[in-house]
Amino acid sequence: MLFTEKLTARTRAVDSMLCVGLDPDFKRIPEHLKNDEDPVWSFCRAIVDAVAPFVCAFKPQIAYFAAMGAEKTLERVIAYIREKHPDIPVILDAKRGDIGSTARMYAREAFKRYQADAVTVSPYMGYDTIVPYLEYPDKGVIILCRTSNPGGADIEELVCDGETIYERIARLAAGPWNTTGQIGLVVGATQPAEIARVRKIAPSLPLLVPGIGAQGGDVNAAVAAGLDAAGAGMIINSSRAVIFAAPDETFAEAAAAAARATRDAIRAARVRALAGQD
């Protein structure tokens, strides 16, 4: 199944556009897990099972695993999702960006080693750095466009030949770069006006939207700006606000409650946005 097909099927099956990010900061893992043989595994497995009913995707952030030398745990977590929750796509948040020969190794890492369904990449070295990921036509390639961090404006809002950098990325991603139909874009929830602009340029691309929850993005504004013509097309990510909802033995139950509440808020925002279009 293509990444876009898997994502659409899951979104419809559970009526959810919520993606939960797996960012296992060891300092914030509950103390009672830290004596386990692999605390990161114990934590992530419990979170995955607790929030799975409410999500359209999972997004493990590779840096949190790699910084601890826990790449094998990341492999194990993704393999677990694929075994126990096979209908939920996994987006490896790696933000890779390098010359073609190196990008080919990064693509193999994401899609062969980790068995991810999609990966985030940086476009700032040009199309030839994207091509190796597109050699896996069933996989998703989600390109940084207008990011949620405050410093994103330093580069992404620069004007070149009458359009901003992020607008050009969106135009290229929706057009000549999208040779497999598997490209998506990262657009932060903290930038609703830019989400709307990107959606206009790229009407059919899936948008990965980080920035709600801990980063303070407005769910209603983001959803109203980013829905596609079918009233979907968004992967709205929350990481820390869900997975660290409680610091103790109740962490999994608290994560489930936070995921449910976030999913419901996204649903309500979608209903309001669609009603406003009538």
* Backbone region of residue 229 per phi and psi (left: phi > 0; alpha: psi in -120 to 50; beta: other values): alpha
User: Residue 71 pLDDT > 60, yes or no?
Assistant: yes
Q: How does DSSP assign 147-204, residue by residue? A: -SSGGGHHHHT-EETTEEHHHHHHHHHHTTT-TTS-EEEEE-TT-HHHHHHHHHHSTT
Query: Quick one: pLDDT band at residue 215, thresholds 50, 70, 90?
Result: low
Percent of the chain residues past pLDDT 90, beyond the cut: 92
Task: List, for residues 81-119, the tens digit of each pLDDT value.
Answer: 999 999 999 999 999 999 999 999 999 999 999 999 999
Burial bucket for residue 27 (CB in 10 Å: 0-12, 13-18, 19+): exposed
Task: List, for residues 171-213, the tens digit of each pLDDT value.
Answer: 999 999 999 999 999 999 888 999 999 999 999 999 999 988 6
| Mean pLDDT taken over the chain | 95
Domain with residue 261: its CATH number is 3.20.20.70
Q: Which residue has the tokens 């409680």?
A: 246
User: Residue 170 pLDDT > 70, yes or no?
Assistant: yes
User: Residue 217 pLDDT > 70, yes or no?
Assistant: yes
Q: Alpha-carbon Rg of the chain, whole angstroms?
A: 18
95 is catalytic: yes
**Active-site option among 27, 34, 95, 139:** 95
Mean predicted confidence (pLDDT) in 32-49: 97
Domain ranges, residue 49: 3-277
Burial bucket for residue 239 (CB in 10 Å: 0-12, 13-18, 19+): buried
* Structural domain count, the chain: 1
